[in-house]
Chains A and B, each alone.
Chain A
Amino acid sequence: DVKVTQSSRYLVKRTGEKVFLECVQDMDHENMFWYRQDPGLGLRLIYFSYDVKMKEKGDIPEGYSVSREKKERFSLILESASTNQTSMYLCASSLDGLDEAFFGQGTRLTVV
């Protein structure tokens, strides 16, 4: 069965902390994605990666960075968390750009 796993379901961090959100997929997919979801704004793409060590900015990359050292793992990094980064974060993967995408269970991050 297809599986995308995010490291935490709920996370509370303090302003200024460095935050790591981890995502692992077991489907040998080339593409991995990070989205954030906010009420009224829908899902917005932060970053995506189409290969190991490759990354591309999405629509809202400011304040975030990513790391993909291994094919199965894609990390989202908040270098210095701020309250406006309180959100639902969703990781996804797909075999290639036009293929079916699968999502993790989501991480609800609260920055206080």
Chain B
Amino acid sequence: GIQVEQSPPDLILQEGANSTLRCNFSDSVNNLQWFHQNPWGQLINLFYIPSGTKQNGRLSATTVATERYSLLYISSSQTTDSGVYFCAVPNSGGYQKVTFGTGTKLQVIP
């Protein structure tokens, strides 16, 4: 099945700093999602981004499908950005199945 790796695994930021999270995948995909898992465990949709660039406030994402990676940018980070960020792509073997990346745990300190 498809392999999805995220980097870095852990990240500590001072409030106000910018960061880039990366998601690499081993096979071609026709969709990709970014999620933020908050400290209570809920997965919040950030972006549905098969290709190109999208922006939502302080967050933006870029997927380069031909090169098999996606980037999530967080600007002017806030303590509420803390949590784990996952990317997820459909499995090549079955379209209903989704493979999640390993996650990036972000801690934003005041």
Chain A residues within CB distance 8 Å of chain B:
31, 33, 37, 42-43, 45, 48, 50, 56, 58, 88, 90, 92, 97-106, 108
Contacts and interface: CB of A to CB of B under 8 A. Distances in A.
B42 interface: yes
Range of interface residues on B (Cβ < 8 Å): 20 to 34
A97 B45 contact: no
B33 interface: yes
Nearest to B101: A42
> Which applies to chain B's interface (DSSP): helix, strand, loop or mixed?
strand
A5 to B, nearest CB: 11
> Which applies to chain A's interface (DSSP): helix, strand, loop or mixed?
strand
Interface of B: 30-31, 33, 35, 40-45, 48, 86, 88, 90, 94-98, 100-103
A42 B102 contact: yes
A43 B42 contact: no
B96 A105 contact: no
Contacts of B100: 42-43
A106 B41 contact: yes
Contacts of B96: 31, 33, 48, 50, 56, 97
A98 B97 contact: no
B33 A103 contact: no
Contact of A97 (B86, B95, B103): B95
A101 B98 contact: yes
B82 to A, nearest CB: 17
6 contacts: A48-B97, A88-B41, A97-B96, A98-B90, A100-B31, A103-B44
